[in-house]
Amino acid sequence: MTGRQSSEPPRFDATFQASLRDLILWRRDVRRFKTDPVAPELISSLIGLAASAPSVGHCQPWRFVLVERPSCRDEIKASFARANADALEGYSGERRRMYARLKLEGLKAAPVHLAIFADEETDVGSGLGRQTMPESVRYSVVAAIQTLWLAARAHGLGVGWVSILEPERVAAALKVQKAWSLVAYLCIGWPHEEHVDPELDRQGWQSKIEAEKLIFRR
Amino acid sequence: MTGRQSSEPPRFDATFQASLRDLILWRRDVRRFKTDPVAPELISSLIGLAASAPSVGHCQPWRFVLVERPSCRDEIKASFARANADALEGYSGERRRMYARLKLEGLKAAPVHLAIFADEETDVGSGLGRQTMPESVRYSVVAAIQTLWLAARAHGLGVGWVSILEPERVAAALKVQKAWSLVAYLCIGWPHEEHVDPELDRQGWQSKIEAEKLIFRR
Protein backbone atom coordinates (compact mmCIF):
# COMPACT_ATOMS: atom_id res chain seq x y z
CA MET A 1 0.00 0.00 0.00
CA THR A 2 1.37 3.41 -0.86
CA GLY A 3 0.47 6.91 0.19
CA ARG A 4 -0.68 7.74 -3.33
CA GLN A 5 -3.71 5.54 -2.83
CA SER A 6 -5.20 7.79 -0.20
CA SER A 7 -6.33 10.38 -2.76
CA GLU A 8 -9.96 10.15 -3.84
CA PRO A 9 -10.60 8.81 -7.37
CA PRO A 10 -11.69 11.62 -9.70
CA ARG A 11 -15.22 11.62 -11.14
CA PHE A 12 -15.61 12.62 -14.77
CA ASP A 13 -18.88 14.35 -15.58
CA ALA A 14 -20.84 14.72 -18.81
CA THR A 15 -19.15 18.05 -19.58
CA PHE A 16 -15.71 16.45 -19.39
CA GLN A 17 -16.86 13.44 -21.41
CA ALA A 18 -18.14 15.75 -24.16
CA SER A 19 -14.89 17.74 -24.19
CA LEU A 20 -12.85 14.52 -24.29
CA ARG A 21 -14.90 13.45 -27.30
CA ASP A 22 -14.10 16.80 -28.97
CA LEU A 23 -10.44 16.32 -28.14
CA ILE A 24 -10.38 12.85 -29.70
CA LEU A 25 -12.25 14.03 -32.80
CA TRP A 26 -10.16 17.18 -33.27
CA ARG A 27 -6.77 15.52 -32.67
CA ARG A 28 -5.04 15.68 -36.02
CA ASP A 29 -1.81 14.66 -37.65
CA VAL A 30 -0.38 18.14 -38.23
CA ARG A 31 2.14 18.90 -40.99
CA ARG A 32 1.94 22.71 -41.08
CA PHE A 33 3.55 24.32 -38.07
CA LYS A 34 4.38 27.84 -37.00
CA THR A 35 8.05 28.14 -36.07
CA ASP A 36 7.25 29.75 -32.67
CA PRO A 37 9.01 27.90 -29.86
CA VAL A 38 7.28 25.58 -27.39
CA ALA A 39 8.16 25.94 -23.70
CA PRO A 40 10.49 23.09 -22.66
CA GLU A 41 8.44 22.69 -19.44
CA LEU A 42 5.34 21.94 -21.52
CA ILE A 43 7.21 19.26 -23.47
CA SER A 44 8.53 17.73 -20.22
CA SER A 45 5.06 17.69 -18.74
CA LEU A 46 3.64 15.99 -21.85
CA ILE A 47 6.39 13.37 -21.70
CA GLY A 48 5.56 12.85 -18.01
CA LEU A 49 1.95 12.11 -18.95
CA ALA A 50 3.05 9.84 -21.79
CA ALA A 51 5.09 7.87 -19.25
CA SER A 52 1.85 7.18 -17.37
CA ALA A 53 0.56 5.07 -20.25
CA PRO A 54 -0.01 1.35 -19.70
CA SER A 55 2.98 -0.88 -20.35
CA VAL A 56 3.23 -4.64 -20.44
CA GLY A 57 4.48 -5.91 -17.09
CA HIS A 58 4.95 -2.23 -16.11
CA CYS A 59 8.18 -2.35 -18.17
CA GLN A 60 7.96 1.33 -19.20
CA PRO A 61 9.99 0.71 -22.38
CA TRP A 62 9.52 4.23 -23.81
CA ARG A 63 12.70 6.22 -24.51
CA PHE A 64 12.20 9.84 -25.56
CA VAL A 65 14.90 11.46 -27.68
CA LEU A 66 14.64 15.22 -28.24
CA VAL A 67 16.37 15.85 -31.54
CA GLU A 68 17.86 19.33 -31.34
CA ARG A 69 21.11 19.47 -33.31
CA PRO A 70 20.69 20.78 -36.86
CA SER A 71 23.02 18.05 -38.15
CA CYS A 72 20.79 15.35 -36.68
CA ARG A 73 17.65 16.97 -38.07
CA ASP A 74 19.30 17.15 -41.48
CA GLU A 75 19.91 13.41 -41.42
CA ILE A 76 16.24 12.81 -40.59
CA LYS A 77 15.12 15.09 -43.42
CA ALA A 78 17.43 13.25 -45.83
CA SER A 79 16.00 9.91 -44.70
CA PHE A 80 12.48 11.18 -45.33
CA ALA A 81 13.46 12.47 -48.77
CA ARG A 82 14.88 9.07 -49.79
CA ALA A 83 11.98 7.04 -48.37
CA ASN A 84 9.43 9.38 -49.89
CA ALA A 85 11.04 9.31 -53.33
CA ASP A 86 10.97 5.48 -53.17
CA ALA A 87 7.32 5.52 -52.10
CA LEU A 88 6.37 7.80 -54.99
CA GLU A 89 7.80 5.21 -57.40
CA GLY A 90 5.14 2.79 -56.18
CA TYR A 91 2.30 4.87 -57.60
CA SER A 92 1.32 5.68 -61.16
CA GLY A 93 -1.10 7.90 -63.06
CA GLU A 94 -3.44 10.21 -61.17
CA ARG A 95 -2.61 8.57 -57.81
CA ARG A 96 1.06 9.39 -58.37
CA ARG A 97 0.31 13.01 -59.22
CA MET A 98 -1.89 13.22 -56.13
CA TYR A 99 0.80 11.64 -53.89
CA ALA A 100 3.39 14.10 -55.12
CA ARG A 101 1.17 17.01 -54.09
CA LEU A 102 0.47 15.75 -50.55
CA LYS A 103 2.20 17.36 -47.59
CA LEU A 104 3.31 14.40 -45.49
CA GLU A 105 5.57 15.95 -42.85
CA GLY A 106 6.45 19.18 -41.12
CA LEU A 107 10.10 18.46 -40.36
CA LYS A 108 11.36 21.86 -41.48
CA ALA A 109 9.07 24.17 -39.49
CA ALA A 110 8.30 22.12 -36.37
CA PRO A 111 10.23 23.56 -33.40
CA VAL A 112 10.26 20.23 -31.54
CA HIS A 113 11.42 16.90 -32.97
CA LEU A 114 10.82 13.93 -30.68
CA ALA A 115 11.96 10.44 -31.65
CA ILE A 116 10.41 7.72 -29.50
CA PHE A 117 12.04 4.32 -29.21
CA ALA A 118 11.16 1.02 -27.53
CA ASP A 119 13.88 -0.57 -25.42
CA GLU A 120 13.20 -4.12 -26.55
CA GLU A 121 15.62 -5.64 -24.06
CA THR A 122 14.67 -3.79 -20.90
CA ASP A 123 14.60 -6.01 -17.84
CA VAL A 124 12.27 -3.60 -16.06
CA GLY A 125 9.13 -5.60 -15.26
CA SER A 126 11.12 -8.89 -15.34
CA GLY A 127 9.60 -9.96 -18.65
CA LEU A 128 6.09 -10.24 -17.24
CA GLY A 129 3.31 -10.44 -19.83
CA ARG A 130 5.50 -10.46 -22.91
CA GLN A 131 6.50 -14.10 -23.47
CA THR A 132 3.89 -14.96 -26.09
CA MET A 133 3.44 -11.47 -27.55
CA PRO A 134 6.83 -9.73 -27.30
CA GLU A 135 5.51 -7.04 -29.65
CA SER A 136 3.52 -5.75 -26.66
CA VAL A 137 6.70 -3.92 -25.59
CA ARG A 138 6.50 -1.77 -28.72
CA TYR A 139 2.73 -1.49 -28.35
CA SER A 140 3.24 0.01 -24.89
CA VAL A 141 5.32 2.74 -26.48
CA VAL A 142 2.51 3.52 -28.92
CA ALA A 143 0.08 3.87 -25.99
CA ALA A 144 2.47 6.49 -24.58
CA ILE A 145 2.59 8.28 -27.93
CA GLN A 146 -1.19 8.49 -28.26
CA THR A 147 -1.41 9.76 -24.68
CA LEU A 148 1.13 12.48 -25.44
CA TRP A 149 -0.71 13.36 -28.65
CA LEU A 150 -4.06 13.90 -26.93
CA ALA A 151 -2.50 15.85 -24.06
CA ALA A 152 -0.60 18.03 -26.56
CA ARG A 153 -3.80 18.81 -28.43
CA ALA A 154 -5.49 19.83 -25.16
CA HIS A 155 -2.80 22.54 -24.93
CA GLY A 156 -3.37 23.61 -28.54
CA LEU A 157 -0.19 21.89 -29.77
CA GLY A 158 -0.09 19.96 -33.02
CA VAL A 159 1.67 16.63 -33.45
CA GLY A 160 2.63 14.92 -36.69
CA TRP A 161 3.85 11.30 -36.85
CA VAL A 162 6.41 10.77 -39.63
CA SER A 163 6.58 7.10 -40.62
CA ILE A 164 8.17 7.63 -44.04
CA LEU A 165 11.66 7.14 -42.63
CA GLU A 166 14.33 4.44 -42.61
CA PRO A 167 14.21 3.26 -38.99
CA GLU A 168 17.76 1.85 -38.83
CA ARG A 169 19.22 5.01 -40.35
CA VAL A 170 17.31 7.15 -37.86
CA ALA A 171 18.61 5.03 -34.97
CA ALA A 172 22.15 5.33 -36.33
CA ALA A 173 21.87 9.10 -36.84
CA LEU A 174 20.71 9.52 -33.25
CA LYS A 175 23.31 7.08 -31.88
CA VAL A 176 20.89 5.23 -29.63
CA GLN A 177 21.45 1.87 -27.96
CA LYS A 178 21.34 -1.25 -30.17
CA ALA A 179 18.31 -2.63 -28.34
CA TRP A 180 16.19 0.43 -29.02
CA SER A 181 13.88 0.30 -32.02
CA LEU A 182 12.27 3.37 -33.51
CA VAL A 183 8.52 3.46 -32.94
CA ALA A 184 7.71 7.01 -34.01
CA TYR A 185 9.31 10.25 -35.09
CA LEU A 186 7.10 13.15 -34.00
CA CYS A 187 7.05 16.76 -35.11
CA ILE A 188 5.50 19.00 -32.45
CA GLY A 189 4.58 22.68 -32.61
CA TRP A 190 1.80 25.23 -32.88
CA PRO A 191 -0.43 24.36 -35.84
CA HIS A 192 -1.16 26.78 -38.65
CA GLU A 193 -4.74 25.60 -38.97
CA GLU A 194 -7.15 23.26 -37.21
CA HIS A 195 -9.44 20.71 -38.79
CA VAL A 196 -11.83 18.03 -37.65
CA ASP A 197 -11.22 15.93 -40.77
CA PRO A 198 -7.90 14.22 -41.55
CA GLU A 199 -5.65 15.80 -44.18
CA LEU A 200 -5.81 12.68 -46.38
CA ASP A 201 -9.60 12.77 -46.25
CA ARG A 202 -9.70 16.48 -47.09
CA GLN A 203 -7.31 15.99 -50.00
CA GLY A 204 -9.39 13.15 -51.47
CA TRP A 205 -6.82 10.40 -50.84
CA GLN A 206 -8.87 8.26 -48.45
CA SER A 207 -12.22 8.80 -46.76
CA LYS A 208 -13.35 7.63 -43.34
CA ILE A 209 -14.91 4.19 -42.88
CA GLU A 210 -18.05 3.97 -40.74
CA ALA A 211 -16.96 2.47 -37.42
CA GLU A 212 -19.99 0.16 -37.31
CA LYS A 213 -18.58 -1.69 -40.33
CA LEU A 214 -15.45 -2.55 -38.38
CA ILE A 215 -17.29 -4.30 -35.54
CA PHE A 216 -17.70 -8.08 -35.64
CA ARG A 217 -19.29 -10.56 -33.23
CA ARG A 218 -18.22 -14.07 -32.26
CA MET B 1 -13.28 21.23 -48.47
CA THR B 2 -16.06 19.50 -46.59
CA GLY B 3 -18.98 20.73 -44.53
CA ARG B 4 -17.44 19.27 -41.38
CA GLN B 5 -14.81 21.97 -41.49
CA SER B 6 -17.29 24.71 -40.85
CA SER B 7 -17.55 23.88 -37.13
CA GLU B 8 -15.40 26.00 -34.83
CA PRO B 9 -12.33 24.26 -33.31
CA PRO B 10 -12.90 23.57 -29.61
CA ARG B 11 -10.80 25.37 -26.99
CA PHE B 12 -9.59 23.35 -24.04
CA ASP B 13 -9.21 25.33 -20.84
CA ALA B 14 -7.11 24.77 -17.72
CA THR B 15 -9.95 22.92 -15.99
CA PHE B 16 -10.18 20.42 -18.84
CA GLN B 17 -6.40 20.07 -19.00
CA ALA B 18 -6.30 19.26 -15.27
CA SER B 19 -9.11 16.69 -15.61
CA LEU B 20 -7.39 15.12 -18.61
CA ARG B 21 -4.26 14.80 -16.50
CA ASP B 22 -6.30 13.05 -13.79
CA LEU B 23 -7.80 10.77 -16.42
CA ILE B 24 -4.38 9.79 -17.73
CA LEU B 25 -2.99 9.25 -14.22
CA TRP B 26 -6.02 7.26 -12.99
CA ARG B 27 -6.39 5.09 -16.09
CA ARG B 28 -5.53 1.61 -14.88
CA ASP B 29 -5.21 -1.91 -16.19
CA VAL B 30 -8.16 -3.44 -14.34
CA ARG B 31 -8.38 -7.14 -13.50
CA ARG B 32 -11.19 -7.14 -10.93
CA PHE B 33 -14.58 -6.46 -12.47
CA LYS B 34 -18.16 -6.48 -11.28
CA THR B 35 -20.30 -8.73 -13.46
CA ASP B 36 -22.91 -5.96 -14.03
CA PRO B 37 -23.59 -5.49 -17.73
CA VAL B 38 -22.35 -2.56 -19.80
CA ALA B 39 -24.82 -0.87 -22.17
CA PRO B 40 -24.06 -1.95 -25.76
CA GLU B 41 -24.55 1.68 -26.89
CA LEU B 42 -21.70 2.76 -24.60
CA ILE B 43 -19.39 0.13 -26.09
CA SER B 44 -20.37 1.19 -29.64
CA SER B 45 -19.72 4.80 -28.79
CA LEU B 46 -16.27 3.95 -27.35
CA ILE B 47 -15.43 1.97 -30.48
CA GLY B 48 -16.54 4.97 -32.55
CA LEU B 49 -14.07 7.16 -30.67
CA ALA B 50 -11.33 4.53 -31.01
CA ALA B 51 -11.91 4.61 -34.77
CA SER B 52 -11.02 8.33 -34.69
CA ALA B 53 -7.45 7.51 -33.70
CA PRO B 54 -4.64 8.37 -36.11
CA SER B 55 -3.77 5.66 -38.63
CA VAL B 56 -0.94 5.49 -41.11
CA GLY B 57 -2.13 6.69 -44.52
CA HIS B 58 -5.64 6.88 -42.97
CA CYS B 59 -5.80 3.09 -43.46
CA GLN B 60 -8.03 2.53 -40.40
CA PRO B 61 -6.77 -1.04 -39.95
CA TRP B 62 -8.59 -1.66 -36.62
CA ARG B 63 -11.02 -4.57 -36.54
CA PHE B 64 -13.09 -4.91 -33.35
CA VAL B 65 -14.34 -8.37 -32.43
CA LEU B 66 -16.85 -8.58 -29.57
CA VAL B 67 -16.37 -12.04 -28.09
CA GLU B 68 -19.75 -13.11 -26.74
CA ARG B 69 -20.17 -16.87 -27.11
CA PRO B 70 -19.24 -18.83 -23.98
CA SER B 71 -17.43 -21.41 -26.12
CA CYS B 72 -15.20 -18.71 -27.60
CA ARG B 73 -14.50 -17.22 -24.19
CA ASP B 74 -13.59 -20.67 -22.89
CA GLU B 75 -10.99 -21.03 -25.63
CA ILE B 76 -9.47 -17.68 -24.66
CA LYS B 77 -9.36 -18.65 -20.97
CA ALA B 78 -7.68 -21.93 -21.89
CA SER B 79 -5.10 -20.06 -23.97
CA PHE B 80 -4.37 -17.77 -21.03
CA ALA B 81 -4.04 -20.74 -18.67
CA ARG B 82 -1.47 -22.42 -20.95
CA ALA B 83 0.52 -19.25 -21.63
CA ASN B 84 0.50 -18.28 -17.97
CA ALA B 85 1.64 -21.72 -16.79
CA ASP B 86 4.53 -21.51 -19.30
CA ALA B 87 5.40 -18.01 -18.08
CA LEU B 88 5.47 -19.16 -14.45
CA GLU B 89 8.10 -21.75 -15.40
CA GLY B 90 10.40 -18.89 -16.34
CA TYR B 91 10.65 -17.63 -12.76
CA SER B 92 12.18 -19.18 -9.67
CA GLY B 93 12.37 -18.57 -5.94
CA GLU B 94 10.59 -15.58 -4.42
CA ARG B 95 9.87 -14.06 -7.83
CA ARG B 96 8.04 -17.25 -8.82
CA ARG B 97 5.96 -17.25 -5.64
CA MET B 98 5.14 -13.61 -6.23
CA TYR B 99 4.19 -14.22 -9.89
CA ALA B 100 1.86 -17.07 -8.89
CA ARG B 101 0.00 -14.73 -6.53
CA LEU B 102 -0.52 -11.91 -9.06
CA LYS B 103 -3.92 -11.39 -10.63
CA LEU B 104 -3.13 -10.86 -14.30
CA GLU B 105 -6.53 -10.93 -16.00
CA GLY B 106 -10.25 -10.55 -15.40
CA LEU B 107 -11.52 -12.89 -18.13
CA LYS B 108 -14.08 -14.62 -15.93
CA ALA B 109 -15.93 -11.63 -14.48
CA ALA B 110 -15.62 -9.02 -17.23
CA PRO B 111 -18.96 -8.62 -19.02
CA VAL B 112 -17.34 -7.41 -22.25
CA HIS B 113 -14.51 -9.16 -24.12
CA LEU B 114 -13.13 -7.19 -27.05
CA ALA B 115 -10.42 -8.61 -29.28
CA ILE B 116 -8.78 -6.02 -31.49
CA PHE B 117 -6.95 -7.02 -34.65
CA ALA B 118 -4.90 -5.24 -37.30
CA ASP B 119 -5.81 -5.95 -40.91
CA GLU B 120 -2.24 -6.10 -42.17
CA GLU B 121 -3.27 -6.34 -45.82
CA THR B 122 -5.89 -3.64 -46.01
CA ASP B 123 -5.70 -1.59 -49.20
CA VAL B 124 -7.52 1.29 -47.53
CA GLY B 125 -5.13 4.26 -47.72
CA SER B 126 -3.35 2.72 -50.75
CA GLY B 127 -0.26 1.80 -48.73
CA LEU B 128 0.64 5.42 -47.99
CA GLY B 129 3.18 5.91 -45.21
CA ARG B 130 3.88 2.26 -44.52
CA GLN B 131 6.56 1.21 -46.98
CA THR B 132 9.57 1.55 -44.69
CA MET B 133 7.78 0.91 -41.39
CA PRO B 134 4.98 -1.58 -42.13
CA GLU B 135 4.60 -2.10 -38.37
CA SER B 136 2.92 1.32 -38.31
CA VAL B 137 -0.29 -0.48 -39.36
CA ARG B 138 -0.31 -2.36 -36.05
CA TYR B 139 0.78 0.78 -34.21
CA SER B 140 -2.30 2.57 -35.54
CA VAL B 141 -4.43 -0.10 -33.90
CA VAL B 142 -2.69 0.51 -30.57
CA ALA B 143 -3.47 4.23 -30.86
CA ALA B 144 -7.14 3.25 -31.20
CA ILE B 145 -6.89 1.00 -28.14
CA GLN B 146 -5.38 3.70 -25.94
CA THR B 147 -8.06 6.14 -27.13
CA LEU B 148 -10.80 3.66 -26.22
CA TRP B 149 -9.13 3.01 -22.85
CA LEU B 150 -9.09 6.67 -21.84
CA ALA B 151 -12.64 7.27 -23.07
CA ALA B 152 -13.83 4.19 -21.16
CA ARG B 153 -12.21 5.44 -17.95
CA ALA B 154 -13.96 8.80 -18.39
CA HIS B 155 -17.23 6.83 -18.14
CA GLY B 156 -16.04 4.97 -15.06
CA LEU B 157 -15.35 1.76 -17.01
CA GLY B 158 -12.28 -0.37 -16.38
CA VAL B 159 -10.20 -1.94 -19.14
CA GLY B 160 -7.64 -4.73 -18.81
CA TRP B 161 -5.28 -5.71 -21.62
CA VAL B 162 -4.49 -9.44 -21.60
CA SER B 163 -1.23 -10.14 -23.45
CA ILE B 164 -0.57 -13.57 -21.90
CA LEU B 165 -2.28 -15.35 -24.79
CA GLU B 166 -1.26 -17.35 -27.84
CA PRO B 167 -2.12 -14.92 -30.66
CA GLU B 168 -2.51 -17.54 -33.42
CA ARG B 169 -4.77 -19.68 -31.25
CA VAL B 170 -6.91 -16.65 -30.40
CA ALA B 171 -7.22 -15.77 -34.09
CA ALA B 172 -8.18 -19.38 -34.87
CA ALA B 173 -10.73 -19.55 -32.03
CA LEU B 174 -12.38 -16.37 -33.29
CA LYS B 175 -12.22 -17.46 -36.95
CA VAL B 176 -10.96 -14.15 -38.24
CA GLN B 177 -9.41 -13.45 -41.63
CA LYS B 178 -5.88 -14.72 -42.27
CA ALA B 179 -4.51 -11.19 -42.72
CA TRP B 180 -5.70 -10.04 -39.31
CA SER B 181 -3.17 -10.17 -36.49
CA LEU B 182 -4.17 -9.93 -32.84
CA VAL B 183 -3.03 -6.69 -31.26
CA ALA B 184 -4.91 -6.80 -27.95
CA TYR B 185 -7.50 -8.77 -26.05
CA LEU B 186 -9.40 -6.43 -23.74
CA CYS B 187 -11.61 -7.16 -20.76
CA ILE B 188 -14.05 -4.30 -20.13
CA GLY B 189 -16.44 -3.75 -17.22
CA TRP B 190 -17.17 -1.83 -14.05
CA PRO B 191 -14.14 -1.99 -11.77
CA HIS B 192 -14.31 -3.26 -8.20
CA GLU B 193 -11.82 -0.68 -7.00
CA GLU B 194 -9.95 2.34 -8.31
CA HIS B 195 -6.28 3.14 -7.87
CA VAL B 196 -3.85 5.75 -9.05
CA ASP B 197 -0.91 3.31 -8.85
CA PRO B 198 -0.52 0.30 -11.14
CA GLU B 199 -1.32 -3.14 -9.72
CA LEU B 200 2.25 -4.36 -10.34
CA ASP B 201 3.62 -1.35 -8.47
CA ARG B 202 1.22 -1.88 -5.56
CA GLN B 203 2.11 -5.58 -5.35
CA GLY B 204 5.84 -4.86 -5.27
CA TRP B 205 6.63 -6.40 -8.68
CA GLN B 206 7.91 -3.25 -10.41
CA SER B 207 7.97 0.40 -9.39
CA LYS B 208 7.62 3.46 -11.57
CA ILE B 209 10.66 5.02 -13.25
CA GLU B 210 11.01 8.80 -13.08
CA ALA B 211 10.06 10.10 -16.54
CA GLU B 212 12.99 12.56 -16.55
CA LYS B 213 15.37 9.57 -16.66
CA LEU B 214 13.83 8.42 -19.93
CA ILE B 215 14.48 11.69 -21.79
CA PHE B 216 17.62 11.99 -23.94
CA ARG B 217 18.96 14.79 -26.12
CA ARG B 218 20.76 14.65 -29.45
| Three-point CA angle B151, B153, B159, nearest 5° | 100
Q: What is the pLDDT of residue A127?
A: 94
Angle at A207 between CA A201 and CA A212, to 5 degrees: 135
Contact at CB, B63 and A216, closer than 8 angstroms: yes
B46 Ramachandran zone, left/alpha/beta (phi>0; psi -120 to 50): alpha
Residues of chain A below pLDDT 70: 1-6
pLDDT tens per residue across all 218 residues of chain B: 333 445 789 999 999 999 999 999 999 999 999 999 999 999 999 999 999 999 999 999 999 999 999 999 999 999 999 999 999 999 999 999 999 999 999 999 999 999 999 999 999 999 999 999 999 999 999 999 999 999 999 999 999 999 999 999 999 999 999 999 999 999 999 999 999 999 999 999 999 999 999 999 99
Collect all residues of chain B within an 8 Å Cβ-Cβ radius of residue A49.
21, 24-25
Report chain B residues whose CB lies below 8 A from the CB of A176: 216
Angle between helical axes of B136-154 and A14-26 (0-180°, round to 10):
160
In whole angstroms, give the CA distance from residue A30 to residue B89.
Answer: 47
Contact B23 A12 (CB under 8 A): yes
The strand pairing partners of B119, in sequence order, are B180
User: Cβ separation of B184 and A139 shorter than 8 Å?
Assistant: yes
Q: How many CB pairs under 8 A join A and B?
A: 306
Taking the Cβ of residue B211 and every Cβ of chain A, the question of whether any pair is shorter than 8 Å is answered with yes
DSSP A125: T
Q: Encode pLDDT of A102-140 as tens digits.
A: 999 999 999 999 999 999 999 999 999 999 999 999 999
**CB pair distance less than 8 Å for A16 and B21:** no
pLDDT at A7: 73
- Chain B contact for A196, CB < 8 A? yes
pLDDT at A4: 42
- Which residue from A23, A66, A201 is facing B217, i.e. has the nearest CB? A66
Closest-CA distance of chain B to residue A25, Å = 6
Say yes or no: ipTM exceeds 0.90: yes
Q: What is the pTM of this model?
A: 0.96
Task: Give backbone dihedrals phi and psi of A152, rounded to 5 degrees, phi first.
Answer: -60, -45
CB-based burial, B46-55: b 16+ in 10 Å, e otherwise: bbbbbbbbbb
CA angle B77, B84, B168 (to 5 degrees): 60
> Residue A94 and residue B88: Cα distance in Å, rounded?
56
Interface check for A30 against chain B (CB to CB < 8 A): the answer is no
Q: Which of A147, A161, A206 sits opposite B58 (nearest CB)?
A: A206
pLDDT value for B199: 93
- Cβ within 8 Å, pair A128-B206: yes
Of the candidates A104, A132, A146, which has its C-beta nearest B164's C-beta? A132
A interface test, pick of B69, B137, B147, B175 with most A CB neighbours within 10 Å: B147
Within 10 angstroms of residue B44's Cβ, the number of other Cβ atoms is 14
Q: In chain B, which among 130-149 make CB contacts under 8 A with chain A?
A: 130-133, 135-136, 138-139, 142-143, 145-147, 149
Number of C-beta neighbours around residue A177 at 10 A: 12
CB contact under 8 A, A139 and B25: no
Confidence at residue A146, expressed as pLDDT on a 0 to 100 scale: 98
* Chain B neighbors of A143, CB-CB under 8 A: 142, 145-146, 149
The CA distance from A189 to the nearest CA of chain B, in Å, is: 17
Orientation angle between helical segments A136-154 and A14-26, nearest 10 degrees:
110
Pairwise CA distance, residues A110 & A136, whole Å: 30
Task: List, as ranges, residues 65-124 from B with C-beta within 8 Å of A.
Answer: 65-69, 72, 83, 86-87, 90-91, 95, 99, 102, 104, 115, 124
What chain B residue is nearest to A175 in terms of C-alpha separation?
B218
* H-run or E-run covering B152: helix B136-154
